[in-house]
Chains A and B, each alone.
Chain A
Amino acid sequence: AQSVAQPEDQVNVAEGNPLTVKCTYSVSGNPYLFWYVQYPNRGLQFLLKYITGDNLVKGSYGFEAEFNKSQTSFHLKKPSALVSDSALYFCAVRDTDSNYQLIWGAGTKLIIKP
């Protein structure tokens, strides 16, 4: 069965430091991977996705993610964190086995401290 895991429930980073939010996946075919961000009491906003091609994907708000096939990971990164980056981050993988729905990670709360 296809799955996605976000091993960290919460990540704490000091403002200005680099940040990484981890995501690992398990798929039977080609992976289609997505990152979303959710601010309090708001809907989810799309950040970036990997479909094919370059392993380093750049997205909104200065975020990027690196696709690593051998490690089955798709970690979200940003070189310099902002306090405004504090939010809930979701990784998702497309279920290509059945109905092409997104399988969601449990979410990682990112806290950026001034």
Chain B
Amino acid sequence: QITLKESGPTLVKPTQTLTLTCTFSGFSLSTSGVGVGWIRQPPGKALEWLALIYWNDDKRYSPSLKSRLTITKDTSKNQVVLTMTNMDPVDTATYYCAHVEPAGTPNFDYWGQGTLVTVSS
């Protein structure tokens, strides 16, 4: 059974750096083809893909946010960490991590519950 859970601060100040951790179980990030991605959703708005990391440390970032994002993995801890620099109120959103299904076009077959991050002074 695959499960994922996001953790991190619920409130950050403008210009600060956000660090979110995805802790998962039921799969290993050392298995060929497997990945973990991050997606966010501002209140009342659409889903937006942010980044993903594969078992072989291949990393992909949204072109519009690439300069602000870093994704890393700790295979031994079953964790993936996303950092986003220079946070702004427009970055207020629910942030999800999800398991990337290993075949075909990258997609998300299992999702965490999400964590709401508010950016405010």
Bound pair: A and B? no
Task: Give A residues with C-beta under 8 Å from B.
Answer: none
Interface residues in chain B, defined as those with a beta carbon under 8 Å from any beta carbon in chain A: none
